[in-house]
Amino acid sequence: MSEEHLDAHLERVLTGDAGLDDPEVAELLASRPEARERLRALEELSRRLDDAGGEARATLDASSSVAAAPGSERVGPVLRGLVRESAPARIPIRFVAAAAALVFFAGLLWMLGPGSGEPREEPGDVYLGDGAIELLEPSGEIGGWGRFRWSSDLPAGGWFTLEVRGADDPPGTAPIVRETDLTENEWTPSRDLPDRIRLRIVAHDAGGVPSGSFERELSLSR
């Protein structure tokens, strides 16, 4: 039996389409110890995810009965501050349709108009680790977008996330590019990017905790 067939059978078991008493599944598990081990590991992961999901639901249930939570008074000022710092948002239509309540928010952003002319500041002080990442390429005059390379001591088992946004996109806008699993300290875009971009790279340790970050606006020289 090929690896593809093995996965097909394990997928049926994991998604509930087949039980362990299914003849083909039973035969597979009896004859392939690695199939038994893979299924055991996936079922254990499924239980951990169920636990995490249960905790999330329990927390959300408990949150509905919290009265006067600390920081409640900051929600309005913080959000208004973020709106002021932003250019008009290009909020996806699906988002607006699904969360009709947020239409007010989108409308307000548009009303702020593109001509406010105030320099945009970075959003608040979100914790992204203590380490620094230095961009090595591109440097100096940038004629076109090619390879991006950066220096960073990636912790063992860690990874980088990389996001590219248009330089004028507000922080809430979905990135043009989002790579969530880079293990090398370089990346080459496979699509055209705008002349002015905002590049954000975050290094994570093996447990996913941010260990360093880099964020800067970059422009082509032309």
Candidate list 90, 142, 149, 185; residue touching other proteins; CB under 8 A: 90
Q: Contact between 190 and other proteins (CB under 8 A)? A: no
Under the binding rule (CB under 8 A), the answer on residue 191 touching other proteins is no
User: What per-residue string of b and e applies to 103-124 under the rule 16 or more CB within 10 Å gives b?
Assistant: eeebeebeebeeeeeeebeeee
Q: Which stretch binds other proteins (CB under 8 A): 132-140, 141-149, 150-158, 185-193?
A: 150-158
With respect to other proteins, which residue has the nearer C-beta, 30 or 56?
56
Distance in angstroms (rounded) separating the CA atoms of residues 51 and 45: 10
Q: Stretches 21-29, 75-83, 143-151, 186-194: which one binds other proteins (CB under 8 A)? A: 75-83
Q: Select the span of 84-92, 132-140, 144-152, 191-199 touching other proteins (CB under 8 A).
A: 84-92
Helix extents (H) in 15-102: 23-31, 33-63, 75-85, 93-98
Query: How far apart are the C-alpha atoms of 125 and 50, rounded to whole Å?
Result: 32
Closest approach, Cβ 55 to other proteins, in A, equals 6
- List the one residue from 1, 26, 30, 58 that touches other proteins (CB under 8 A): 58
Residues listed for the chain: 222
Residue 75 touches other proteins, criterion: CB under 8 A: yes
Q: In angstroms, rounded to a whole number, what is the distance separating the alpha carbons of residues 102 and 53?
A: 26
User: Count residues contacting other proteins (CB under 8 A)?
Assistant: 79
> Which tokens sit at 144?
């076109």
Residues 203-222 that bind other proteins (CB under 8 A): 204-210
Please, are residues 183 and 154 in contact by the beta-carbon 8 Å criterion? yes
Question: Residue 17 CB, nearest distance to other proteins (Å)?
Answer: 7
Binders in 93-122 for other proteins, by CB under 8 A? 94-95, 97-99, 101-102, 104-105, 108
| Residue 42 vs 142, nearer CB to other proteins | 42
| Minimal distance, residue 161 CB to other proteins, in Å | 8
Tokens of 121: 């500041």
CA distance 49 to 60: 16
Assess 20 for contact with other proteins (CB under 8 A): no
CA 92 to chain centroid, in Å, comes to: 17
Asked if the peptide bond before residue 171 counts as cis, ω within 30 degrees of 0, the response is no
